[in-house]
Amino acid sequence: MIKLLDILRENKILVPRRSPEERQKNYQIILQKKIQQYIKDGGKGNLNLRDTPIQSLPPGLKVRGDLYLRNTSIQSLPPDLEVGGDLDLEDTPIQSLPPDLKVRGTLFLNNTPIQLLPPGLEVGGDLDLRGTPIQSLPPGLKVRGDLDLRGTPISKKYTKEEVRKMVPGVEGNIFL
Protein backbone atom coordinates (compact mmCIF):
# COMPACT_ATOMS: atom_id res chain seq x y z
CA MET A 1 0.00 0.00 0.00
CA ILE A 2 1.50 3.31 -1.06
CA LYS A 3 0.99 6.18 1.29
CA LEU A 4 0.06 9.62 0.05
CA LEU A 5 2.87 11.27 2.06
CA ASP A 6 5.45 8.97 0.44
CA ILE A 7 4.19 9.93 -3.03
CA LEU A 8 4.26 13.64 -2.19
CA ARG A 9 7.81 13.41 -0.80
CA GLU A 10 9.04 11.26 -3.69
CA ASN A 11 7.75 13.75 -6.22
CA LYS A 12 9.21 16.64 -4.19
CA ILE A 13 5.76 18.07 -3.66
CA LEU A 14 6.06 17.90 0.12
CA VAL A 15 9.49 19.12 1.21
CA PRO A 16 10.30 20.48 4.68
CA ARG A 17 10.96 24.20 4.52
CA ARG A 18 13.83 24.05 7.01
CA SER A 19 16.29 21.37 8.05
CA PRO A 20 16.37 20.25 11.71
CA GLU A 21 19.75 22.00 12.06
CA GLU A 22 18.32 25.26 10.71
CA ARG A 23 15.30 25.02 13.04
CA GLN A 24 17.66 24.41 15.99
CA LYS A 25 19.80 27.42 15.03
CA ASN A 26 16.70 29.62 14.70
CA TYR A 27 15.44 28.45 18.09
CA GLN A 28 18.80 29.43 19.66
CA ILE A 29 18.44 32.89 18.11
CA ILE A 30 14.91 33.21 19.51
CA LEU A 31 16.13 32.20 22.99
CA GLN A 32 18.98 34.74 22.89
CA LYS A 33 16.49 37.45 21.84
CA LYS A 34 14.25 36.44 24.76
CA ILE A 35 17.20 36.85 27.16
CA GLN A 36 18.17 40.20 25.62
CA GLN A 37 14.58 41.44 25.97
CA TYR A 38 14.57 40.28 29.61
CA ILE A 39 17.77 42.28 30.23
CA LYS A 40 16.33 45.31 28.40
CA ASP A 41 13.24 45.11 30.61
CA GLY A 42 15.46 45.45 33.70
CA GLY A 43 15.75 41.77 34.68
CA LYS A 44 12.42 41.87 36.50
CA GLY A 45 10.51 38.71 37.32
CA ASN A 46 11.44 35.14 36.48
CA LEU A 47 13.42 33.96 33.47
CA ASN A 48 12.11 30.57 32.41
CA LEU A 49 14.32 28.69 29.95
CA ARG A 50 13.35 25.22 31.20
CA ASP A 51 13.32 22.39 28.62
CA THR A 52 14.97 24.53 25.93
CA PRO A 53 18.22 23.87 24.01
CA ILE A 54 19.90 26.92 25.61
CA GLN A 55 23.66 26.42 25.83
CA SER A 56 24.96 29.70 27.23
CA LEU A 57 23.95 32.87 29.04
CA PRO A 58 25.44 36.36 28.59
CA PRO A 59 28.09 37.54 31.07
CA GLY A 60 26.92 39.73 33.93
CA LEU A 61 23.30 38.51 33.75
CA LYS A 62 21.20 39.66 36.70
CA VAL A 63 17.87 37.94 37.33
CA ARG A 64 15.72 39.54 40.02
CA GLY A 65 13.40 36.54 40.26
CA ASP A 66 13.95 32.82 39.62
CA LEU A 67 16.12 31.43 36.81
CA TYR A 68 14.83 28.11 35.48
CA LEU A 69 17.36 26.11 33.46
CA ARG A 70 16.13 22.62 34.36
CA ASN A 71 16.54 20.02 31.63
CA THR A 72 18.63 22.25 29.34
CA SER A 73 22.04 21.75 27.69
CA ILE A 74 23.80 24.40 29.79
CA GLN A 75 27.25 23.27 30.95
CA SER A 76 28.54 26.40 32.67
CA LEU A 77 27.31 29.76 33.92
CA PRO A 78 28.69 33.21 33.08
CA PRO A 79 30.79 35.21 35.50
CA ASP A 80 29.00 37.70 37.75
CA LEU A 81 25.65 35.88 37.47
CA GLU A 82 23.22 37.08 40.14
CA VAL A 83 19.89 35.40 40.86
CA GLY A 84 17.49 37.15 43.25
CA GLY A 85 15.36 34.02 43.68
CA ASP A 86 15.90 30.33 42.95
CA LEU A 87 18.38 28.92 40.44
CA ASP A 88 17.15 25.61 39.03
CA LEU A 89 19.86 23.59 37.26
CA GLU A 90 18.32 20.17 37.89
CA ASP A 91 18.94 17.55 35.18
CA THR A 92 21.52 19.64 33.29
CA PRO A 93 25.10 18.73 32.32
CA ILE A 94 26.45 21.63 34.44
CA GLN A 95 30.08 20.97 35.32
CA SER A 96 31.00 23.98 37.46
CA LEU A 97 29.77 27.21 38.99
CA PRO A 98 31.47 30.60 38.67
CA PRO A 99 33.37 31.71 41.79
CA ASP A 100 31.29 34.87 42.22
CA LEU A 101 27.83 33.29 41.81
CA LYS A 102 25.14 34.84 44.00
CA VAL A 103 21.86 32.99 44.62
CA ARG A 104 19.44 34.53 47.10
CA GLY A 105 16.95 31.66 46.90
CA THR A 106 17.37 27.89 46.56
CA LEU A 107 20.07 26.38 44.37
CA PHE A 108 18.91 23.15 42.72
CA LEU A 109 21.83 21.05 41.44
CA ASN A 110 20.23 17.64 41.88
CA ASN A 111 20.90 15.03 39.20
CA THR A 112 23.80 16.96 37.68
CA PRO A 113 27.42 15.83 37.18
CA ILE A 114 28.81 18.72 39.25
CA GLN A 115 31.77 17.65 41.36
CA LEU A 116 33.00 20.90 42.92
CA LEU A 117 31.43 24.03 44.35
CA PRO A 118 33.32 27.34 44.43
CA PRO A 119 34.89 28.39 47.74
CA GLY A 120 32.77 30.89 49.66
CA LEU A 121 29.53 29.99 47.85
CA GLU A 122 26.54 31.66 49.52
CA VAL A 123 23.00 30.39 49.02
CA GLY A 124 20.09 32.32 50.55
CA GLY A 125 17.75 29.32 50.57
CA ASP A 126 18.32 25.57 50.35
CA LEU A 127 21.18 23.84 48.53
CA ASP A 128 19.98 20.67 46.80
CA LEU A 129 22.81 18.33 45.78
CA ARG A 130 20.81 15.08 45.66
CA GLY A 131 22.13 12.51 43.21
CA THR A 132 25.35 14.39 42.37
CA PRO A 133 28.88 12.94 42.46
CA ILE A 134 30.05 15.73 44.79
CA GLN A 135 32.66 14.42 47.22
CA SER A 136 33.57 17.49 49.27
CA LEU A 137 32.12 20.82 50.30
CA PRO A 138 34.05 24.08 49.83
CA PRO A 139 35.47 26.20 52.60
CA GLY A 140 33.27 29.12 53.57
CA LEU A 141 30.06 27.54 52.23
CA LYS A 142 27.01 29.38 53.59
CA VAL A 143 23.49 28.03 53.24
CA ARG A 144 20.64 29.87 54.99
CA GLY A 145 18.26 26.98 54.39
CA ASP A 146 18.71 23.20 54.28
CA LEU A 147 21.57 21.22 52.73
CA ASP A 148 20.40 18.08 50.92
CA LEU A 149 23.16 15.54 50.27
CA ARG A 150 21.05 12.40 49.77
CA GLY A 151 22.47 10.03 47.19
CA THR A 152 25.93 11.66 47.15
CA PRO A 153 29.31 10.14 48.10
CA ILE A 154 29.33 12.56 51.08
CA SER A 155 26.12 10.99 52.43
CA LYS A 156 27.78 7.57 52.50
CA LYS A 157 31.04 8.79 54.05
CA TYR A 158 30.00 11.22 56.82
CA THR A 159 27.41 11.63 59.56
CA LYS A 160 25.25 14.75 59.93
CA GLU A 161 27.41 15.87 62.84
CA GLU A 162 30.61 15.52 60.79
CA VAL A 163 29.08 17.47 57.89
CA ARG A 164 27.89 20.18 60.30
CA LYS A 165 31.46 20.54 61.61
CA MET A 166 32.85 20.73 58.06
CA VAL A 167 30.36 23.40 57.00
CA PRO A 168 29.25 25.40 60.03
CA GLY A 169 27.67 27.96 57.68
CA VAL A 170 24.61 25.74 57.12
CA GLU A 171 21.74 27.27 59.10
CA GLY A 172 19.05 24.71 58.29
CA ASN A 173 18.84 20.93 58.39
CA ILE A 174 21.31 18.58 56.75
CA PHE A 175 19.81 15.63 54.91
CA LEU A 176 21.88 12.53 54.26
Report pLDDT digits (tens) over 31-52: 888 888 998 888 899 999 999 9
pTM of the model: 0.85
Q: Which burial class, exposed, middle or buried, applies to 26 when counting CB atoms under 10 A from its CB (0-12, 13-18, 19+)? A: exposed
21 pLDDT above the threshold of 90: no
Cα 153 to the center of its chain, rounded Å: 21
- How many Cα atoms sit within 13 Å of 166 on the Cβ side? 14
Could you tell me where the beta strands, DSSP code E, fall in 24-123? 47-48, 62-63, 67-68, 82-83, 87-88, 102-103, 107-108, 122-123
- Report, as an integer, the average pLDDT of 101-124: 95
Taking the C-alpha atoms of residue 134 and residue 111, their distance in angstroms, rounded to an integer, is 11
**Structural domain spans, the chain:** 43-175
Q: Residues 58-88: pLDDT tens digits?
A: 988 999 999 999 999 998 899 889 999 999 9
What mean pLDDT value characterizes the chain?
90
What is the predicted pLDDT for the residue at 87? 98
Taking the C-alpha atoms of residue 81 and residue 90, their distance in angstroms, rounded to an integer, is 17
> Among residues 76, 82, 90, which one has the least CA distance to residue 39?
82
Q: Are 65 and 47 in contact (CB under 8 A)?
A: yes
Amino acid at 85: G
Beta strands 47-48 and 82-83, pairing class: unpaired
Overall CATH class of domain 43-175: alpha beta
**155 or 20, greater pLDDT:** 155
- Report, as an integer, the average pLDDT of 109-126: 95
141 pLDDT above the threshold of 60: yes
Q: Are 144 and 124 in contact (CB under 8 A)?
A: yes
Strand partners, 156: none
pLDDT band, very low/low/confident/very high, at 8 (cuts 50, 70, 90): low
